Amino acid sequence: MNIGQAAEASGVSAKMIRYYESIELVPRADRRESGYREYGVTDLHRLGFIRHARDLGFSLERIKVLLGLWSDPGRSNADVKAIARAHIRELEGRARQLNEMADALRSLADACDGDGRPDCPIIASLETGANVPACHAGDAPAAPEPPVPRRKLRARH
Amino acid sequence: MNIGQAAEASGVSAKMIRYYESIELVPRADRRESGYREYGVTDLHRLGFIRHARDLGFSLERIKVLLGLWSDPGRSNADVKAIARAHIRELEGRARQLNEMADALRSLADACDGDGRPDCPIIASLETGANVPACHAGDAPAAPEPPVPRRKLRARH
DNA sequence: CCTGCACCTTCCCATCATGGCAGAGTCAAC
DNA sequence: GTTGACTCTGCCATGATGGGAAGGTGCAGG
């Protein structure tokens, strides 16, 4: 089947199928004389796998590893599980960050009357940074700070 | 002060300050004879505002609007609140999506023994798509489907 | 057989916010 | 004057995806 049919059947756009081929996430598809790509059930199966992994938020980089494990009959499910757990942590971290932002903004919005006057705690907090979760603060508990930055950051003006 | 100091003081990298200027998110900075950008407290204030807005996940596009409202003495806090609420919805939506992925993957990982054998429910679900949340499924309750797609999608091969 | 159209090919550009690098110029401390 | 930190501009890269142009292919209907 052609790339269009493969796209529809797998749920991966033709554009992306070509892209996946170009970055060698999938092997180069068979070609007809005309140069048209030709797909079979095996290819569809692989594209479906990729799509499901994308639906779970895996990066293409990690999907490449998963595909390798998939096609490895001697794989260890511990390896798969480790990748999955690392990914879960990432997802949770990102979700937590988004929720923190949403929570902070919600409390600001709740404090805003929205009655048409210019007074606005949201704007005020953006000005001062009060109640705004510092992005990535807490990721690096203590700045490594290279021992003796001798003449760095000279005071000027 | 120079861009480096402004960057350190505002928490916005010099690179980004130049970028913000290039996309006209901030006005073109004053220049010294040498071409060096020169920043004052007003500029720092604005950069801080932008940084806090970024920390809340606002896009630069929306920050442009917020800056406009900020500098408008006759603004309506209702406008600000509306933008904030739209953004909260976006954040919540994205967080929900991430959490759905994490939940799905967690249940798959829980079902995986991780004992070193090849059997793996995670891999199996990626193959079949079972228990994998279809990305964006439910967003479009009913496909609009143009009335009569006469000769579209011909069956080939 | 010809025409038209849906489909395919490759290649380039855009997104969004950010970082990195290179080559050249500037500033201030010593 | 030398040195080294800093700044300038400009280009490239990221990740995953979409859009489009320019040109070739395949097939059905006339």
What's the pLDDT at A155? 52
Confirm if A3 and A14 have CB atoms less than 8 A apart: yes
Residues by CB within 7 Å of nucleic chain D, which ones? A 13, 15-16, 19, 32-36, 54, 59-61, 151-154; B 2-5, 14, 18, 29, 35-37, 154, 156-157
Better-scored residue on pLDDT, A135 or B10: B10
Which bases along strand D come within 7 Å of a protein CB atom? 4-9, 15-19, 24-28
Q: Is the pLDDT of residue B127 over 50?
A: yes
Q: Rounded CA gap, B19 and B30, in Å? A: 15
Instruction: Name the residue among B112, B133, B38 with its Cα closest to residue A82.
Output: B112
CA-wise closest residue to B13 among B68, B54, B67: B54
More confident residue, A68 or A154: A68
Q: What secondary structure does DSSP assign to B75-103, as a single string?
A: --HHHHHHHHHHHHHHHHHHHHHHHHHHH
Take residue A101 and report the two structure tokens written for it: 């932002």
A137 pLDDT higher than 50: no
CB contact under 8 A, A92 and B70: no
Mean pLDDT of A63-82: 96
Mean pLDDT taken over chain B: 88
Tell me what pLDDT residue A135 has.
67
Considering only residues B150 and B57, tell me which one the structure prediction assigns the higher pLDDT. B57
- CA at B88, C1' at C2: how many angstroms apart? 59
Give dist(CA B15, CA B19) in Å, integer.
Answer: 6
Note the pLDDT of residue A136: 52
pLDDT tens digit sequence for A88-115: 999 999 999 999 999 999 999 999 999 9
In B47-152, where do the E strands start and end? none
Question: In the predicted model, is pLDDT for residue B27 greater than 50?
Answer: yes
Task: Give the pLDDT score at B139.
Answer: 40
Q: Which residue places its CA closest to the C1' of nucleotide D17? A: A16
Q: What is the pLDDT of residue A134?
A: 78
Query: Phi-psi bin for B66: left (phi > 0), alpha (psi -120 to 50), beta?
Result: alpha
pLDDT tens digit string along A112-125? Answer: 999 999 999 999 99
pTM value? 0.86
Q: Is the pLDDT of residue B53 over 60?
A: yes
The residue ranking higher by pLDDT, B117 or B132, is: B117
**Mean pLDDT value across residues B53-65:** 96
pLDDT band at B136 (very low <50, low <70, confident <90, very high): low
CA A10 to C1' C4 (Å) is: 30
